[in-house]
Structure 1
C-alpha cells in the first residue's frame, strides 16, 4: 500500500510552478454537473467525495492564480465590473474552502456540484483578468 506524505508549506508556494490542467478540470466539473441522483445513479459516495476534494484543490490553486493576476494588474487596466466580479468570485471560493464547518459538510454530491460551479466562475474571472494584462514583450 502506498501512503501519502504531509508537506509543510507555510508559504503556500510549493505548487505554484506546476501548470494547471484546465482542460481536465473543466471536463471533470462538467461531468460532475451532469450527475443527477434522481435520473441516473451518481457514482459511489467515496468517488464523489474524492472528486470534490480534487476540485477543491484546483479551486484553491486557481484562486491563488487569480489573486496574483489581480495584484500585478496595472490600476485601471481591468474594467470595474470585471474587477468586482473577480473579487466576488475569490470571496465565494474562500468562503467555500474556509467555511466554519469545512467545505464538505452536507450531501457529497451537492458539495461536488458546488465546487464544479465555482470552477466555472473562477475560469471566467481568470480569463477576464488575464485578458486585461498588457502584452509582454518577447
Structure 2
C-alpha cells in the first residue's frame, strides 16, 4: 500500500484550521496500540489503523506548526517544535505497511506530537 492519496488544493491551510482534533479517542487508540504484546489483526486492519493515525498525526502537526510559527524567535519552544515536526515529516513520508510495527510507529508519532502541542499551549511561567 502506498502512502500517497488524493491531494487537495488548500494553499492557505484553511481546511486544517477548521477541523477540531478529536483527541480522547485517538489517545485511547494510541495507548492500546502501544500496549500490544502479540497482536494478530489482519494486514488490512493494520493498514486501516495506520491510515487513521496518519490522518490524525497530520492534523496535530498542522496545529503544532501553526502555534510554533506564532511564537517569538526567542521562545525555545518553537525550536523544539521544529525538531519534532521534521521527524514527523520523515515518519509520515514513509509508506504505510500492514504491520504492527508500522502502526506502533504512527502511534508513537501521535503521542510525540500531542506532547509538543501541549507544551506549546501551556502558559509560560514568568521569569523570577
With structure 1 as the length reference, what TM-score do the two structures score? 0.74
CA distance in 1, matches of 2:9, 2:81: 26
CA distance in 2, matches of 1:70, 1:54: 24
Count of residues paired in the alignment? 119
Where do 5+ consecutive residues of structure 2 fail to align? 1-5
1:50-107 per-position Cα deviation (integer Å, ceiling 9, x unaligned): 011100000111101100001112333x3x2x333321110111011124xx2x15x6
RMSD of aligned alpha carbons: 2.3
1:3 aligns with: none
Given that 1:35 and 1:42 are in contact with CA atoms closer than 8 Å, whether structure 2 keeps it comes out as no
Q: Which is helix-richer, 1 or 2? A: 2
- Residue 49, structure 1, aligned to residue 47, structure 2: yes
CA distance in 1, matches of 2:72, 2:123: 9
- Residue 22, structure 1, aligned to residue 17, structure 2: no
Among 76, 85, 90, the residue aligned to 1:90: 85
Asked which structure has the greater CA Rg, the reply is: 1
Q: In the TM superposition, what are the counterparts of 1:1-138 in structure 2 within 5 Å?
A: 8-11=8-11, 12-37=13-38, 41-76=39-74, 78=75, 80=76, 82-99=77-94, 102=95, 104-105=96-97, 108-132=99-123
CA distance in 1, matches of 2:46, 2:30: 12
Quote the offset at 1:31 in angstroms. 0.9
Where do 5+ consecutive residues of structure 1 fail to align? 1-5, 134-138
Stretches of 4+ aligned residues off by more than 6 angstroms: none
